[in-house]
Amino acid sequence: MKFLPVLLALFFGVCSFPSVSLRAEEASTPSVKVLVTYHSLSGHTERMAEAVASGAKELPGTQVLLKRVGEVTAEDLFSSDAVVVGSPVYWSNMSGEVKSFFDDWQFKFGVFPEFKMKNKVGAAFATGGQVSGGKEVTMLSILAAMLGNQMIVVSGGGAFGASATTEGDSPGIDKGELADARLLGMRVAEISAMLKHGQAR
Ligand SMILES: Cc1cc2nc3c(=O)[nH]c(=O)nc-3n(C[C@H](O)[C@H](O)[C@H](O)COP(=O)(O)O)c2cc1C
């Protein structure tokens, strides 16, 4: 009988092996990295960017980097599994800063001819002053630049991404618009995890 504690310890020790090794496996699985990047002059697109980032963080194991387009480095871009780009609508399209960011993918980061962004997840968000002033064109232009880079584009929040009307009868960013931005971030993280690990953990 004096060996009973030893036997029990051995039994529970052996039984706990699988969960220990599972935890070790989870810890060694690289997390999904999502880069959320944006241009914003008066802060509206920045608020949406923060909400996209917080949505992405809701999926455990997601690392999120939030940066203005001008601050993104080659390392930020190439180490990311997903890139979410946000722009204010300028003349019914993405702003010049955001367009320059995409042009810099070649000028600064040399993505072509190897297609270094290939198979990364991409998504878009936009804010515009007017209800029908070009938010969808802006998001589609962002997605078009991503498709040209052979990225896998996804939507979320709205049909083409998350968007907000910021002037007139709908000043600033409201709760529903922030919720859409969070949903977009969450979906991007989920799809990225599915592509990287075969499932959203
Ligand atoms: C140069 C310029 C052009 C703009 N053109 C449009 C436009 O075509 N359609 C629209 O809905 N809003 C337009 N806007 C309004 C901005 O898109 C809107 O205020 C946006 O929310 C600003 O984002 P931010 O606060 O992140 O800078 C324009 C603003 C500027 C400064």
Q: Is 87 in the pocket of ligand 1 (CB under 6 A)?
A: no
> Cβ atoms within 10 A of the Cβ of 107, count?
10
- 150 shares a domain with 55: yes
- 133 shares a domain with 99: yes
* First-residue to last-residue Cα distance in the chain: 45
- 1 shares a domain with 100: no
Mutational pocket test of ligand 1: of 89, 98, 138, the residue with most ligand atoms within 8 Å of the beta carbon: 89
- 11 shares a domain with 64: no
| Total tally of structural domains belonging to the chain | 2
The CATH code of the domain that includes 43 is 3.40.50.360
pLDDT-derived band at 29 (thresholds 50, 70, 90) equals low
d(CA 141, CA 135): 10
Q: Is the pTM of this model over 0.75?
A: yes
Domain residue limits at 160: 31-197
pLDDT per position as a tens digit, 87-121: 999 999 999 999 999 999 999 999 999 999 999 99
